[in-house]
Structure 1
Amino acid sequence: MTQEEKKNTEAAAPEAQEPAEQNAGTMAATALPRNQNEAQDKAQPEAKAEGAPDEKPEEKAGEKPAEKPRRRRRSLTLVAGGMLVVLCAAMGLRWEADQRVFERAVESATPDTAVRITVETGDSARRVMERLREAGLQVKDFDMRLAARLVKDHKLSSIHTGTYEFKPDLTPAGILETLARGPIVDQSLRIPDGAPVWEVLAIFRNATALKQTAASMPEAELRRALGIDAGSLEGWFAPDTYHYTSGSADLAVMKQAVAKQKALLAKAWESRSEAAKVKTPYEALTLASIIEKETGLATDRHLVSSVFNNRLSIGMPLQTDPTVIYGLGEKFSGNITRKDLQTPTPYNTYVIPALPPTPIAAPTWASIEAAVNPADTRFLYFVSKGDGSSHFSQSLAEHNRAVRQFILNRPKTQKKAKPKEPQPTKETARSITPV
C-alpha cells in the first residue's frame, strides 16, 4: 500500500466512527430515565469527573502557586523581626529612662552637703528647678519631666511654700519625693504662759525667719485677718511652742495660736459647771486671764476661780491687783501702791464691780478650765503665802489676819525685790489687798 493510500485510510477512519457515535447517542437518548431530576443528578458527577482532569494539568503547568506560601512565610518573618526590634528598642528606652530617673544621682556642687532652698508664694515648678540649680544641684529639665511621668503622686503642680532640704546623692525621683513630703520644720517660737499681747507681738516681730506682714497692720485690720470678733487681741494667743518653716508668714503662725485658743475656749465652755457665773465665753476668757496672773500653782487655780465666781455672784468687786497693774500700763512703777488702787481705769477692779472689759493676758488651758469649773467653796478672799501657794478666807477678818501673817510680818529675807519694769508673766503683787 502506497503512502497516499495509508493517508486516505487514516482520514476515513474518524469519519466512520462518527456515525457509530451518533447511533450510540440515539440509543442512549431512548434509555433516558422517566424522572428528569434523576438524570440531572447523575449528569453532575459526570460533569465534575470530566472537568477534573482539566484542572490538574493547570496546577502542574507553572509550579507558581507553590511560591505563594513561601512568600507569606518570608513576610511573617520580616514582620516578627521588626516587632522584635521595636520591642527591644522600647525596652532599652525604658531601661535608660529608669536609670536617669531612679538610679543616677543628680550632680551637686557640694556632693557631701545637703542643699536647702526656700519656695516662695507664686513659685512655679520651673522656678523651683531654677532654685535647685542656683543652690548647686544640676537638675536637667528633661530628666525632671521624665521623672514627673514615672513617679506617682509627685505633686509637682502643688508645691507648698517653705524651706526644703535635699540630701546628697538624690536622684530626680528623690527630688520629687522630697518636694512631695513638704517643707521641713526648722524654726519655732514660744508664747509664754500669761504673756500680755504686747509681748506676744514682740515675739513675732523678733522671729527673723518669719515673713513679716502683721507689724504694719493696724490692730483692727489684724483682728479681722485673724478672725477675732472681740475688740482686743488680748488673750487670744494660746501659750505654746509653735513650729514653722523659714519664710512662713507671721500671720500663718498667729492663726495657729488663735485657732488653738478658740478651740480650748469652746471645749471649756461646753463643759462649764452651774457654779460658773461668767455669762459668755469671752467673759470666761477674761476671768481665765486673771486666774493665770494670780496663781501658777495648779492646785490653787480652781480655788482662786471660786473666789472670783463667788464675788461675781453677789456683785462684789474682784479687787485683784493684776488687773490694776494692767490698767496702769507704762505708768506702773513696779510696786503697787494704795494710790494705784484708787486710780480709776477700766481695769481697776477695786473700782469697777465687775470683770474688766478685756482679758489681761494669754491664759493657759488650765486657767480656762478652772474659770468655768470653780471649786465648791464660800471663799471670798485669798492672799499669797510667799511660797507660790495662797491662803483662802471666807471673811474679811480672817483675811486681814492672813495678810498680817504672810505679808506684813514676812521676814525681810523672804520679801521679793521690787521689779523696775512690769513683768510679762506673774506680777509680784499677787494678793487681794485688804480693805
Structure 2
Amino acid sequence: MSAKFTDNDGRLNWRRLGYYARSAFAVLLSAAVLIGGGWFIYSKANEAYVSWRTADDYIGEGTGEEVQIMIPRGAGASDVGVLLMEADVVKSAGTFRKVATRSGKWDQVQSGRFKLTKQIPAETALDMLLDPENAVRLMVTFPEGLAAQRQWAIMDRAANADIGLTAADMAEAASDTSIYQALPGYANGELEGFLFPSTYEVGEPAVASHLIGTQIGQFNRIAEKLELVEGAQALGTTPRNIVTTASIIAAEVNNPDDQPMVARVIYNRINQGMPLQMDSTVHYAVQDWGTVSTTAEQRANPSPYNTYVHKGYPPGPITNPGESALNAALNPAETDALFFVTVNLDTGETKFAATIEEHNANVAEYQAWCQANTGRC
C-alpha cells in the first residue's frame, strides 16, 4: 500500500484514501464531460457540414441504380443539368452547370445516350459523361444482298427499338431522292443498289434521311476504292450495269469465292443474247422473298425486272451489294460457264456448268437436297 494512504504506524488512513478517491473521481468526471461535450459538438458540426454539403449536391457513390440519359445535339450545360436533375442523377441543375463550366472540360461532352448512376455528385456525373465507356452506341446492321424494302424492315425489329426509326420512316425519307446530293449520277435518282450494306452507328435523335445519306456516302467510298467507273469502262459496260450485276450476285450467292464465277456467267449470257433467268430478279419483280425457288406463275410475271421474260439486264439493281459483290462484278472469273445452281443451302456449295446437260445434273442434285430437307427450298 502506498505511503499516501497510511499513517506513520502503517495503518490505512481511510480519510486520506477518500480524499484522493474523490479527487480522482472529479478528474474522471471532468474528462468525461469534456469528451462527451466534444463528441456532441463534433457530431453537430459534422451534421451541419453534411447538410450544407448536400443542399445542392449529392455525396458518395450514388445508389448504384443505372439510368440512361439522352443529350441532344447543341445542348448546353444548363440544359444537361436539368436533364440530369430530372433523372435524379444530380441534386441540382445549377450545381452541375457550375461544375461543368468551371472544369474547362464542358466542350468535350458529346451528344448522345449515356449510362449514369442515380444520386451522384455533379463532378462524378461530368466525369461519367466524359468517359467513352459510358456512351451507349446505337448500331444497326444491314446485311449484303437485301433490297431496300427488306433493309428498312430491319428497323422494325425489337432489337432496334431504341433507335426510334421504323420501316415507314425510312420509306418516307426515300420518297424524295433529290435531297441526296451524293447519290451518283448513274443511280438515275434511285436508291436501290446504293444503300451500302454495313453496320452503322445511328446518332440520336435518329433521322432516317441521315442514315440513308450515310449509306450512300459509304457506297461512294467503296466505289472510289474499287475504281468502279474506270472498271466499268474497261469491261465495256456502264457503272450502272456493274452495280446491277453486283446486286444479282449478292442475291444469288454468299460465298465470295463463287461471286466472280457468277459475274462471268452473267456476262457470258448477256454476250450470247441469252436471258439471265435469275430467280433473284423474279423475287424482286413480285416483291416476295419467302422461298429460294420461284413458281412458274412468278416466272411468267411481266415485270421488266423478270429476267425469265426479258433478255438483258433488269432496269436497275435488285439488291444493295457489298464490296465483295461489286469487286466480283468488276473482276469476273475466266470461265465458259453459262449456268450455276447452289446444290446445298446449308453449306452454300454452288456448282457451275457450261452445258445444259451438266446443269441439269446439278439441278437434280439440288432437288435431291430439297427433298431431303422438306420446306427449305
Calculate the TM-score normalised by the size of structure 1: 0.60
Pairing 1:2-401 to 2, within 5 Å after superposition: 106-107=58-59, 110-121=62-73, 123-140=75-92, 143-148=95-100, 150-155=102-107, 160-167=110-117, 171-180=121-130, 184-206=135-157, 207-212=160-165, 214-215=169-170, 217=172, 219-221=174-176, 224-225=179-180, 227-228=182-183, 230=187, 231-244=189-202, 247-270=205-228, 272=231, 276-280=235-239, 282-330=240-288, 335-386=293-344, 388-394=348-354, 398=355, 400-401=356-357
> 1:349 Cα shift?
1.7
Structure 1 residue corresponding to 2:361, chosen from 405, 418, 421: 405
SS at match of 2:65: coil
* Backbone CA RMSD of aligned residues: 3.6
SS at match of 1:116: strand
| Matches of 2:126 and 2:319, distance apart in 1 | 45
Question: Structure 1 residues 315, 200: closer, same or farther in 2, change over 3 A?
Answer: same
Percent of aligned pairs sharing the same letter: 24
Structure 2 contact 77–101 (Cα < 8 Å) conserved: no
SS at match of 1:391: strand
| Structure 2: runs of 5 or more not aligned | 1-52
| Matches of 1:133 and 1:109, distance apart in 2 | 16
SS at match of 1:272: helix
- Aligned AA (2:358): A
Larger radius of gyration: 1
| Matches of 1:212 and 1:191, distance apart in 2 | 14
- Aligned AA (1:163): R
Higher deviation after alignment, 370-379 or 216-225: 216-225
| Matches of 1:226 and 1:113, distance apart in 2 | 45
> 1:372 Cα shift?
0.7
Question: Structure 1 residues 411, 249: closer, same or farther in 2, change over 3 A?
Answer: closer
> 1:181 Cα shift?
5.2
SS at match of 1:189: strand
| Matches of 1:409 and 1:141, distance apart in 2 | 70
Question: Structure 1 residues 107, 358: closer, same or farther in 2, change over 3 A?
Answer: farther
SS at match of 2:352: strand
- Aligned AA (2:155): F
In the comparison of the two structures, how many residue pairs are matched? 311
| Matches of 1:235 and 1:216, distance apart in 2 | 15
Residue deviations 1:323-374 (CA, integer Å, cap 9, x gap): 1221122598875234443432211223333221121112121111101111
| Matches of 2:95 and 2:298, distance apart in 1 | 72
> 1:217 Cα shift?
2.3
| Matches of 2:131 and 2:320, distance apart in 1 | 34
- Aligned AA (1:362): N
Question: Structure 1 residues 216, 327: closer, same or farther in 2, change over 3 A?
Answer: closer
